[in-house]
Amino acid sequence: MSAGAKITDRDHGLKKLKAKLRHTRKGTVSVGIHEAEGAAQAQAGPGEKPSGATVAMVAESHEFGLGAPQRSFIRGPVDQHQATLQGQFREAVQSGMLSNVTPEQALSRFGLYVVGLLQQTMADGGSYAGLAPSTEARRAAMGMSPPYVPLIVTGQLRSSIRSKVTL
């Protein structure tokens, strides 16, 4: 090297990008009925008596078919839309890497997308087991009209689906 040579190292943001990537890899997104929402008392439908069950108990009984027909409102849609969710996750991580979006914001956006997907699937009636004739009769007595959508009477279960990001 000659005596007058000068070397300049220009990072152009690579160090910042690497730090963001390391931080994002530590993050997790949880979507479902979390402790705070799950601990709430399940609301009774119009004209029904409260059962004493919590939202988590109602969610568990339907998700896994414990005492009620299985109506998987979390696992089912996630399995059904797996390719779409993988693409959405990839986009979220890329936006977190290539823009001024923080890893937490990128993961939060993905979590909200999944929440919206689950809630919309539930509102559309999903591919759930139908309601028992006695349940349909109770809904008719409440003043509801067909078609009766499983899992939707008060909207509490649907609105209890949340996402949580941990870094």
In this structure, the number of other CB atoms found within 10 A of the CB of residue 33 comes to 22
Does 120 fall in a domain?
yes
Torsion of CA 13, 14, 15, 19, to 10 degrees: 100
Structural domain count, the chain: 1
Per-residue model confidence (pLDDT) at position 53: 96
Does 5 fall in a domain?
no
Per-residue model confidence (pLDDT) at position 40: 97
Measured distance CA(41)–CA(7) in Å, rounded: 67
- What value does the CA radius of gyration of the chain take, rounded to a whole number of Å? 23
Does 40 fall in a domain?
yes
Task: Return the closest-CA partner of residue 151 out of 140, 142, 139, 163.
Answer: 139
Pairing of strands 28-33, 161-166: antiparallel
Per-residue model confidence (pLDDT) at position 18: 67
Does 18 fall in a domain?
no
Does 103 fall in a domain?
yes
Boundaries of domain holding 55: 24-166
Does 56 fall in a domain?
yes
**What averages of pLDDT result for each successive group of 10 residues across the chain (167 residues)?**
68 66 73 96 89 96 93 95 94 80 88 97 89 90 88 94 94
Per-residue model confidence (pLDDT) at position 39: 97
Measured distance CA(89)–CA(83) in Å, rounded: 10
In sequence order, the 6+-apart residues with CB closer than 8 A to the CB of 46 are 142, 143
Tokens 């008060």 -> residue: 154
Does 13 fall in a domain?
no
CA angle in degrees (0–180, nearest 5) for 150-31-135: 10
Does 9 fall in a domain?
no
